[in-house]
Structure 1
Amino acid sequence: MQYGLLGPLEVRTDQGELALGGERNRRLLAALLLNANRMVSIQQLIEATWGEHPPATARAQVQNRASSLRRLLRAAGDGTDLLVPKGTGYLINVADGQLDLQRVDNAVARAEVLVGAGRIDEASRLLTHAISLWRGPALDGLDSPHLQTTAEHLEERRLAILERRIELDLELGRHVKVVSELNRLVVAQPYRERLRALLMLALYGSGRHAEALDVFRRTRRQLIDQLGVEPGPELQQLHERLLSGGVDADKLLRPPSARVPDVPVPAIAEVRPAQLPGAPGLLVGRTDQIRQLDGLLQGSRAGASACVGVIWGAAGVGKTALAVHWAHKTRSHFPDGQLYVDLRGFDPAGRPVAATEALHGFLEALHIPAQHIPVDLDGRTALYRSIVADRRIMVVLDNARDAEQVRPLLPGAAGCLAMVTSRSRLDGLLATHAARPVMLDVFTAGEAVDFLTERLGAERTHPDMDAVEAVADACARLPLALAIVAGRAAVHPDFPLAEVCRELWDGRDRLDALAVEDPASDPRAVFSWSYGALGAPAARLFRLLGTVPGPDISAMAAANLAGLPLRTTRVLLAELTRASLLIEHVPARYTFHDLLRAYAGELGRTVDTESDRRDARHRLLDHYVHTACTAALMLDPQREPTVLEPPREGVDVHQLPDRAQAFEWFAAEYQVLLSAVHRAGDGFEAHAWQLSWALATFCTKRGLWEDQAATQRTALAGALRTGDIVRQAVSHRLCARAYTMMGRQDEACDHYQQALAMYDSLGDTGGAAVVRLGLARVYECRQKHDAALEQALLGLELFRQADDAYGQALALNAIGWNCGLLGRHEDALFYCGQALVLVRGLGDLYGEAGVRDSLGFAYHNLGRHPEAMECYQRALRLYRESGDRYGEADVLVHLGDSHQASGSPHHASDAWLAAVAILDDLRHPDADQVRGRLTGANNLPVR
């Protein structure tokens, strides 16, 4: 079964075109197909069929005609009912690719992904195919005002796709080819200024400069004579640039697309994400707010862009519960899917979710493979909006901090809806996106009583309504507090409500520092009541958890915090979870609400001695430090260990069995470890330094240079306070390495010079040698290869004085590499050959990867490409096994060079695209140099 809307309405089977009956049957089917796979209400079908003046029997006629069409489609197909009743209307089931409009949407979305991958010619062909799907004017012959409006929109879409295809052709240098086509289009669309601009660019790129300028003169005269207006800003600015000769005729002036690897592009039309959390079991009141939200549905259908709603109010008033309840209630209006993310905008224990991270999750939910996801914010936003264009998708953005966090996540297409919850009103969104605010406050007195009655049952509340009202008042009618109270009371059905009320009021002044934004909404008593029901060991653990850095904690870390066996701690964590004071958000990792965290911290300061709290913190940091340092050496066995004090009694170091487990541990604890470094002052400077030392290995492997620089700055500050010169030197050196990889060479050089002075004062020739190699890298990045070679030679001499075989291998490799950069390729083979003997003798596979890469570079420049590619392939495998992403990218660049030189441009492009993807993800400045290779630039190699 094939359906066509882009021309006269048609339905085709293997036996030919179906006879659909009269005009109104065709209008009805067209309205259903325009909303394929989603419910269309009977009222909408009436409007599409008769317009504003339907007959009295319109509803019955729609039902009769729908039944007739259902029988027709069932008979023409395999006997399955394709047109079915749904809710208050009907739905037609259309498989992906059966409807021409679907095929256009898929082609356009796929084309934009191809553009991002640099495959412009394929994208142009795909858009040409999309345009060819129009068999004539869309919905031709259907004389309905409602459908004619849609037909006009589809014609606008056709022209937009055509303009985009011409843009791509101009990027490909096909200026002469498109001139005649544009001349015809300009005649057919005399007031469409974008077509005039494209014609000017095509003529200019064809060498017909005077004609390009004449297009503007004629356009301006026509607009003034016929409409009384001047040309728009785009056309005027283009005219000025043509006059000045400032247009690059080979490229349109538009932001560069994000690059992604050259791999098959996925089909997306069939993907319908369903990310909404479970619907709340109970929602009391909120009638006015739900009515306001219902009004957004009309906006999502009628607007020219996505409709945006903002539910705002104080913490704990039930913003998320309302948003999720309404999203489930209305999800049938958004049959193409529902996306959800908790942006953690007001989580004091961790950073808000970045828009790039949230977009990554959305694109994964839309089944975009990781290698297709751009690395930058603009690229992800563009791909996301391309995919959801012309689809009906709901996006719930929960717990947003500000408008800037939200804007990239808003879909741009009409028919979509974004629901944002926040403690702020987000005035920026009200101004820029006409967002509709829905203010949420605490319950009214009646709603609070209704809430407790629904949760506890009328048989328990009606006998003592005075107590119910008093409980509601004691909770300040805050939904969060009411929910906790009701849950606790339900677990203990024999507790009199009057006693519950007395407990709440008695504890009312115990949490002054924990007021939410509404001063009358104080959850202190609710938390204390739940806390009071805990056993003493669980209560102590709860208090200690208030001191934990980072967003969550593992069960093993919690055991070290408490100084208890892991098995015992798991029992206590389960008790806290059952009491709703803790959440196991992933297996064996626990977190809690920011109010509960603050409450736990305040209790700890009140109940526990400072000595007890400090001992707990010391145990936790010992656990992190000893595990992290052990894991770091598993990731890089050649690294010189740092000296650690023995862990305190009762500390359990995580025994990691292998390198893969070490990577997984770092990944799981990464945010916690970062927070621990920055919060480890007050006498724990040594722990902060040791954690930053351990994190440097993981950061290097993952290319997390900004985090590495930040942690080393914190570590350096601590080492300065304690006067530890050795640690200062190491921190300067590691900070310099991060700055080097970030492209901040001046700062890197400054840190290296300070480290060198310290190592010289200490008489540490090995440390000075490492710095010399770091300075060699800085000079290399500055294209000062003679200076880089000099530093590498100095490093070799120092490593020989220190009798450091591994260091000598590193230095010999650096010497060989810089010889290669200076064109001394035979010398490069000599030095790198010596390095290879050393690293293989040491069994250092990671070091061997670097040496193999250098050897490959020398072979490549000597024209010995098979040997070069063999070296690169071995180096690539070793870097991937070690998890070094920058090393992997570096080798991919060189491998691409050898493929290009040996006459395999497609393989070269594959390698370079993969390298760009990694370098962009690492935010490394070398990415732009590699892009130059993809456009034919002859850049120097990167290292």
Structure 2
Amino acid sequence: MMYGLLGPVEVRTDHGELALGGERTRCVLAVLLLNANRVVSTQQLIEATWGDHAPATARAQAQNRASSLRRLLRAAGDGDDPLVPKGSGYLMSVADGQLDLQRMDSMVTQAEVLAGSGRPEEAGVLLRQALGLWRGPALDGLDSLHLRTVADHLEERRLAILERRIELDLALDRHADVVSELEGLVIAQPFRERLRGLLMMALHGSGRHAEALDVFRRTRRQLIEQLGVEPGAELQRLHERLLRGGGAGDELSRQRRASLSEESVPAITAIKPAQLPVAPSLFVGRASHFRQLDSILPKSRDGASPYVCLIWGAPGVGKTALALHWAHKSRDHFPDGQLYTNLRGFDPAGTPVSPAEALRGFLEALHVPARHIPMDLDGRMALYRSIVVDRRILVILDNARDAEQVRPLLPGSAGCRAVVTSRRQLDGLLATHGAKPVMLDVFTEGEAVDFLTARLGAERADRDQDTVEAVAGACARLPLALAIVAGRAAAHPRFSIAEVHRELLEGRDRLDALAVDDPVSDPRAVFSWSYGALDASAARLFRLLGTAPGPDISATAAASLAGLPLRTTQSLLGELTRASLLVEHVPGRYTFHDLLRAYAGEQARVLDSESDLREARHRLLDHYVHLACAAALKLDPQREPIALDPPRAGVVLIPSPDRSEAFDWFVTEYQGLLAAVLTAGDGFEVAAWRLAWALATFCTRQGLLQDQIAMQETVLEQAARAGDLVRQALSHRLCARACTMVGDQEQAAHHYEQAIAMYDGIGDRGGAAVVRLGLARVYEFQKQYELAIEQASLSLELFRQREDGRGQAMALNAVGWNHGLLGRYEEALSHCDQALVLCQRLGDAYAEAGIRDSLGFAYHNLGRYGEAVESYEHGLRLFQQAGDRYNEADVLTHLGDTHQAAGSPSLAQAAWRAAIAILDDLRHPDADRIRGRLTG
């Protein structure tokens, strides 16, 4: 029996093709085959077949279809039963060579081995055979969103194999033979730069040097005109070599083949990630826990052993150390690599890593090009599991918060294993995935003594074994506490063990119990040891860092917090890092273990005066405010700036970033900025308001709308208490905008009305004009288009009085758009054309993007589909350049509508899927509305 996924889903026997039934049955079979030789739960079948639109009878339908397939396959296999129920799901057994996808992967792997051993001719033959397995588009005819995502990635793999086969042809000097083929491929894939590069190589090798250069010129013109970007670095380097090299074809071919081979996608080169951090150099005990972990090692391909292990226990007991030591010890069992991520599930100053973010890191480690990584969680999950299928990879998921954070990251392949560490037992993971629990407690007495002995040296420890045991007891046998004590003692070899014990006991007498979720540990005295060894400047910085908001901090922000020069601060940060009181988790950014953060903050409240702490907080907020406001104006240069006070003495600033750097700065600093706004207390209200203002554009364009609302409500309440109408009006306005975008028009209208009253009260016509324009948007969403036109027209008049060109353009666009919604398309064109002229005169690309969307809508409804598509695509590029993901999705939706009306359903579906992916990533409710277009 042979199974096929590389085309329509099919099953063939010696007697011909089996009649599989309807689309849903073929969806079920496709999911089972994509997960061959591992259990697929009924819930997985439901999600992959129906997505978010599963009917109430979905479970019964899925089970009925699986049972029907089981009967069909058993009958066709002369009594063999390849599909069997297993637990709460089904196991589809597929032998080597039965599934076309597996055969393709095997051929590609063999081809790479042959190519690497200097046999390109044989490698090319195998790749041709692999490509010959395709009978059409993968999973053809299945309309499941999940499976279409898988199909898209399979198509990407097919193209990559095709490119690799052509590279081998070029290596064999068959340049002229592939020119015609490449010219056709370039027409079909106009923006795939690798194909363009191969065509340039083929033409050059055929002696058609001028034509090769012309390919680059045409490519560059097309990319600039249609996408607004330059060719990639690799294509530009190839062009430069051609310009320089002329006849140096052999050397150029060799260099190009090498670089292309390095860029090959995971399906071709079987990338072996090696993400395991270095395990702590000293590890003792835990023998029984090692045996429990060994029980999950792959023993066979039948899924007999558990494939998930959960190490759980209190903070500081050594969960990560155990996981890493076992992982390094077991590397030979996982020849295809190891993946690792710290999920930061219990970081008190930040947010846990989302599954989508963690998957992106895994896909990057597997060398998936950034442009091929899906935006939505489901797409990333599908690609990840497709890549690791039939491989033996170990996945370490460290510091997980809950089962929901973990489930999308589990590989699910029979040969892969996952080790999860968490402070919680994660009962959900134990129930749904049969995870093997490994409960970790503090060291036994013997392990604690062995640990100290190993760190202190046997000779030193043996001189006073009883005191070593007492030190271990004083540390509550907590591995984290023992490591700090041992590090301190090792750094001072002249100290006797008795002195170590005496200081530790004195520390315990001075300190109360630390309020953490570990009922058996008291590490505060231990922390005081390392802290007490610091010089005064490092100790002060350590304390102040404990008061800073956010999960981590940059060196410049730390310098501002301390009021010290950057170079001095960097030296102190290095001292804290070497003392294991701080971690430089990425270059230039520092964070704490959560217990150390709590300890540092407590010490600051005990030892530093209230005025010193407030001054430090003011300096940090000044640092954030000045950089955030500068970055905000880079993201939106047309935005009216707010007044800032000069930074306090001691504040360290960096040069003003360009637009790209500004966006990256917001991404890096976002969690700290958000925490700074939401935790600002008395005396910091103005700084918090300025930060919330600065974050508004970034939050809007990234779809962080609930955060935006939370910040604006916080600063609005503070401004109301202070009776500050200016701050209140602006916060009402920004809050209203976010409410509009999340669909809460009633709340948006309330905020806009409050803002209008306040702007009228202080005589600010510019502010009133902006608010009336926003209120027009609310009326638009409420389908009160005449009222929307009325408000937009009032806004237009106010902008004209102020001679505000950008405001006039936006108001004209709003008037035109609402005329279009009323069916007055010629009037819409007239107003929007006027708006376009104004914003082009000002060079305002962002405003132009919205106007292009409005023009596209009018052209669409006038039946001028070509002009509509052109307008939408122009606006789409501008929104993409601005990083405005919400409006990018909006324009993609409209573009899909036009393609559908113009008779291009495949282009329409592609645009809608792209919009849905963005909105799902933003968790926006509009995604479901647009998803209905795919099934409508």
Shared topology, TM-score over 0.5? Answer: yes
Question: Take 1:662 and 1:871, find their aligned partners in 2: how far apart are those partners?
Answer: 28
Q: Does 1:914 align with 2:914?
A: yes
Contact 1:261 1:913 in 2 (8 A): no
Shift of residue 436, structure 1, vs aligned partner: 2.6
Deviation of the 1:684 alpha carbon: 1.1
SS of the residue aligned with 2:577? helix
The question of 1:456 aligning with 2:456 is answered yes
Deviations 1:365-386 (A, max 9, x none): 3445555555555555455445
By how many angstroms is 1:852 displaced? 2.9
Measure, in 1, the Cα distance between the counterparts of 2:713 and 2:619.
24
Which residue of structure 1 lines up, in the alignment, with residue 156 of structure 2?
Answer: 265
CA RMSD for the aligned pairs?
3.9
Shift of 1:254: 8.0
- Matched AA of 1:316: G
Residue 613 of structure 1 deviates from its aligned partner by 0.6
CA contact (8 A) 2:299 2:305 kept: no
Aligned residues: 736
Corresponding residue for residue 20 of structure 1 = none
Amino-acid identity (%) = 67
Return closer, same or farther for 1:918/1:376 CA change in 2, 3 Å cut-off.
closer
Structure 2: which amino acid aligns with 1:590?
Y
Q: Counterpart amino acid of 1:442? A: V
Q: CA deviation at 1:675?
A: 0.6
Contact 1:688 1:715 in 2 (8 A): yes
Give the aligned partner of residue 844 of structure 2: 844
2:224 aligned partner: none
Contact 1:262 1:913 (8 Å CA) reproduced: no
1:680-759 superposed matches below 5 A: 680-759=680-759
User: Deviation string for 1:394-430 (max 9, x for gaps)?
Assistant: 3222112233433343344444333222222233333
* CA–CA distance in structure 2, aligned partners of residues 259 and 414 of structure 1: 22
CA contact (8 A) 1:300 1:307 kept: no
| Distance (whole Å) between structure 2 residues aligned to residue 763 and residue 300 of structure 1 | 77
Change (3 A) 1:371 1:747: farther
The 2-side partners of 1:156 and 1:399 are apart by: 27
Asked whether the equivalents of residues 299 and 307 of structure 1 are also in contact (C-alpha less than 8 Å), the reply is no
Residue 809 to residue 132, structure 1, CA distance change in 2 (3 Å): farther
SS at match of 1:508: helix
The answer on whether the counterparts of 1:561 and 1:617 sit within 8 Å (CA) in structure 2 is: yes
Distance 1:188 1:261, change over 3 A: closer
Cα offset, 1:923, TM superposition = 2.9
Write out aligned runs for 1:306-345 (5 A). Answer: 306-345=306-345
d(CA) in 1 for partners of 2:39, 2:552: 48
- Name the SS of the counterpart of 2:508 in structure 1: coil
Q: Secondary structure at the match of 1:534?
A: coil
Q: Which runs of 5+ in 2 are unaligned?
A: 19-32, 55-67, 84-139, 158-264
How far is 1:628 from its partner? 0.8
Q: Secondary structure at the match of 1:656?
A: coil
Q: How does 1:85-104 map to 2 (within 5 A)?
A: none
Task: State the Cα distance separating 1:877 from its structure 2 match.
Answer: 3.2
**Cα pair distance change 1:902/1:527, threshold 3 Å:** same
| Partner Cα distance (1:905, 1:252) in 2 | 15
Alpha-carbon distance in structure 2 between the residues aligned to 1:332 and 1:284: 21
Comparing 624-633 and 509-518, the one that deviates more: 509-518
The answer to whether the aligner puts 1:587 opposite 2:478 as a matched pair is no
Match of 2:604 in 1: 604
Q: Is the 8 A contact 1:306 1:412 kept in 2?
A: no
Task: Tell me the distance in 1 between the aligned counterparts of 2:696 and 2:925.
Answer: 20
Counterparts in 2 of 1:892 and 1:570: CA distance versus 1, 3 Å: same
Instruction: State the shift of 1:513 in Å.
Output: 4.4
CA contact (8 A) 2:632 2:698 kept: yes
| 1:261–1:914 contact (8 Å) kept in structure 2 | no
Deviations 1:58-82 (A, max 9, x none): xxxxxxxxxxxxxxxxxxxxxxxxx
Structure 2 counterparts to residues 638-653 of structure 1, below 5 A: 638-653=638-653
* Letter aligned with residue 560 of structure 2: N
Map of 1:290 onto structure 2: 290
Deviations 1:312-345 (A, max 9, x none): 2221111110111112222322334333222222
Q: Kindly indicate whether the alpha-carbon contact (under 8 Å) linking 1:681 and 1:688 is maintained by their aligned counterparts in 2.
A: no
> Quick one: distance in 1 between partners of 2:608 and 2:71?
83
Decide whether the 8 Å contact of 1:260 with 1:917 is kept in 2.
no
- Residue 278 (structure 2) pairs with residue 278 (structure 1): yes
For 2:358, give the aligned amino acid: A
Contact kept, 8 Å, 2:296 with 2:305, in 1: the verdict is: no
Q: Could you report, residue by residue, the CA deviation over 1:672-696 in whole angstroms, capped at 9, with x for unpaired residues? A: 0011011112221111111111100
Distance verdict in 2 for CA 1:757–1:261, change over 3 Å = farther
In 2, Cα distance between equivalents of 1:792 and 1:193: 68
SS of the equivalent of 1:514 reads coil
Indicate if the aligned counterparts of 2:318 and 2:479 stay in contact, CA closer than 8 A: yes
**Residue 831 to residue 504, structure 1, CA distance change in 2 (3 Å):** same
CA distance in 1, matches of 2:282, 2:852: 64
Structure 1 length-normalised TM: 0.71
Match of 1:815 in 2: 815
Cα distance change of structure 1 residues 853 and 522 upon mapping to structure 2, 3 Å threshold: same
Paired residues of 2:398 and 2:422 also in contact (CA < 8 A): yes
Look up the match of 1:36.
Answer: none
Displacement of 1:258:
7.9
- TM-score scaled by structure 2? 0.71
Query: Following the alignment from structure 2 to structure 1, what is the Cα–Cα distance between the partners of residues 602 and 300?
Result: 46
User: Aligned partners of 2:490 and 2:730: how far apart in 1?
Assistant: 58
Partner Cα separation in structure 2 for residue 900 and residue 856 of structure 1: 14
CA–CA distance in 1 between the matches of 2:344 and 2:71? 53
How many Å separate the matches in 1 of 2:587 and 2:350?
Answer: 19
Describe the SS at the equivalent of 1:921: helix
Q: Tell me the equivalent position of 2:420.
A: 420
CA spacing shift, 1:369–1:589, aligned 2, 3 Å? same
How far is 1:869 from its partner?
A: 4.1
Map of 2:559 onto structure 1: 559
CA contact (8 A) 2:73 2:81 kept: no
- Counterpart code for 1:666: F
The alpha-carbon deviation at position 440 of structure 1 amounts to 1.6
Q: 1:260 to 1:330 in 2, by over 3 A?
A: closer
Where 1:548 maps in the other structure, the secondary structure is coil
Is the Cα–Cα contact under 8 Å of residues 334 and 394 in structure 1 kept in the other structure? Answer: yes
Please tell me whether the aligned partners of residues 259 and 913 of structure 1 are also in contact (alpha carbons under 8 angstroms). Answer: no
In structure 2, relative to structure 1, the CA distance for the partners of 1:310 and 1:761 (3 Å cut) is same
Contact 2:897 2:908 survives alignment (8 Å): yes
Residue 481 (structure 1) shift:
1.5
Residues 258, 376 of structure 1: 8 Å contact kept? no
2:509 partner SS: coil
Q: Any idea what the Cα deviations from partners look like across 1:153-208, whole Å, max 9, x if unmatched?
A: 979999x9xx99x989xx9xxxxxxxx9999769648999999xxxxxxxxxxxxx
Shift of 1:298: 6.8
